Every structure is written in structure tokens, then in C-alpha cells.
Amino acid sequence: MDTVSIKDFQKFDIRIGTVVEAEVPDWSHWVMRLKVDLGSEIGERTIFAGIMHFYKPDDLIGKQFPFVTNLEPKKIGPDGEYSQGMMLMGIEKCDKAAVVIEGEEVFEKPVAFSLSEKVPNGSRVG
């Protein structure tokens, strides 16, 4: 495993945001589109997460999660939408396939973090 200096780690802007909308785009076979409230400093962002085979939109709406907010936007899907961040999740390795997607077995599943108490949107993670 490569090591990262604390200086490099501090370049990531990780904030707590509340998912206000979640849906699976018609074209998607993997990602869910999230509208996330990241507080008054950052505002609302669209963030795509590859979790549709593990979570339903209703599992996420109204809940808070950590997001990396300063990644370069990435074009997602055929409509040219951009993901404006990344949802942070744990990854659980599975002994048997967690899901089978288009004939391919996937042996990892994302696990959402939960906060022990609600915090203001945009709160920094450090």
C-alpha cells in the first residue's frame, strides 16, 4: 500500500452533506444520481455514485454522508452530466458474489457511513 503524506491528505475537502434527491437515471446500469446539500458555502451539487445495486433512492434521501467536494468534475452518462464530487463509503469484500451485474459477479459492496448525530451541512471532516 502506498503511503500519503498528511500534506497530500489535507488537499481533500471532505464535507458532510444531506442527500435531498436520489434517482437512477434511465440510461444507468450502475450509478445513482444524487442532489446533495453541502451547506451555504458550497451549495447543492450533483454527485453520481455507483451504488444502485446496493441501495434504493429512499435509503439515502434525507440522510447525511461524507463527500469529497474538490475533485475535478467528471462527465457521467450519455447526456453529458457531470459528477461534482464523490460519496465516501466503506468497501466490504465478500466471499461470494454480492451481486451479478450483466453477467459479471461483483465481490465487493459499498457500505454507507452513518453519523452518530446530525451536523450542519458543509461541516468539514478532518
112 burial (CB, 10 Å; 0-12 / 13-18 / 19+) is middle
Taking the C-alpha atoms of 110, 75, 120 and 109 in order, what is their torsion angle to the nearest 10 degrees?
A: 0
CATH 3.30.70.20 fits 6-88, yes or no: no
Predicted TM-score (pTM) of the model is: 0.92
Alpha helices in 1-126 (DSSP H): 6-9, 39-42, 57-60
Chain centre to alpha carbon of residue 3: 23
- What do you get for the CA distance between the two ends of the chain, in Å? 22
At CA 85, angle to CA 125 and CA 29, rounded to 5? 125
- Residue pLDDT, tens place only, 59-98: 999 999 999 999 999 999 998 999 999 999 999 999 988 8
- Residue pLDDT, tens place only, 3-46: 999 999 999 999 999 999 999 999 998 999 999 999 999 999 99
Q: Could you tell me if 23 and 32 are in contact, meaning their C-beta atoms sit under 8 angstroms apart?
A: yes
For residue 99 the three cell numbers come to 451481486
